[in-house]
A and B are shown apart, each in its own frame.
Chain A
């Protein structure tokens, strides 16, 4: 997921879905680049399943490559809504709206 937020307020202006972002996504932008900045959350492989006979990778488990990984899993499973959060401009992490 790529999160675009207002540099002055931390309000989230929009997102780009995805776990691993290619160059096409990195060229995209939500809103005015002078007003909004972005946080890129890529997912990383944490467990690989290998065929013991061939050594070929069969599957991988992924998790968000950031400190708030549980939160991003909850966004993906729709247990929590990103709309209830804004960006903490000092820490560049998400915090729940008061």
Chain B
């Protein structure tokens, strides 16, 4: 019999309960393992149409990650949007994307026109889990 850790909700027996709805935690199910988190800033100069920043994670594989963009402009100050993020108007599309390789997490902002001076602020989370990609 393999060893495992199971925590059930109140009223259920951790030794016998198998319904996931009645479990708080079970090592039978894979979880995301936190590696690192932090902030990124991207100061884009007026006239540019693309800029990028990066975090070197040096894990040697492509880790699972998430990136959030702070909406501190007309879309809603103080709110956060999950990247990728698109902003469209009639003639212009601006896009923020994030990607990883074996060494870095990249955050890239592009527009089909040119940016005005703008500071973009991000929060990132990198997990130890490999994407397997």
B55:A83 contact, CB within 8 angstroms: no
When distances are taken between beta carbons in the complex, the residues of chain A under 8 Å from B86 are: none
Is B13 on the interface with A (CB-CB < 8 A)? no
Bound Cα distance A50, B18 (Å): 40
Question: Interface residue count for A (Cβ, 8 Å)?
Answer: 18
Bound Cα distance A92, B22 (Å): 52
Bound Cα distance A97, B82 (Å): 28
Query: CB-defined interface of B11-37 with A at 8 Å, one 1/0 digit per residue?
Result: 000000000000000000000000111
Nearest CB of B to A20, in Å? 13
Is B47 on the interface with A (CB-CB < 8 A)? no
Is B39 on the interface with A (CB-CB < 8 A)? yes
Bound Cα distance A28, B58 (Å): 7
Is A69 on the interface with B (CB-CB < 8 A)? no
Nearest neighbor of B72 in chain A, beta-carbon distance: A83
Interface residue ranges of B27-72 to A (CB < 8 Å):
35-41, 43, 53-58
B36:A17 contact, CB within 8 angstroms: yes
**Dominant secondary structure of chain B at its interface with chain A:** strand
Nearest CB of B to A69, in Å? 20
Nearest CB of A to B101, in Å? 14
When distances are taken between beta carbons in the complex, the residues of chain B under 8 Å from A83 are: 39, 41, 121
Nearest CB of A to B40, in Å? 4
Query: Given A30-B53, A83-B121, do A14 and B39 touch, yes or no (CB 8 Å)?
Result: yes
Bound Cα distance A18, B34 (Å): 12
Bound Cα distance A51, B65 (Å): 41
B36:A82 contact, CB within 8 angstroms: no
Nearest CB of B to A85, in Å? 12
Nearest CB of A to B122, in Å? 8
Nearest neighbor of B52 in chain A, beta-carbon distance: A31
Interface residue ranges of A1-59 to B (CB < 8 Å):
2, 11-18, 24-25, 27-31
What are 7 of the A-B contact pairs (CB < 8 Å)? A14-B41, A15-B39, A16-B36, A18-B36, A28-B55, A30-B54, A83-B121
10 cross-chain pairs, A with B, having the tightest CB-CB distances, nearest first: A29-B56, A14-B40, A16-B38, A15-B38, A15-B39, A17-B37, A27-B58, A17-B38, A30-B55, A14-B39
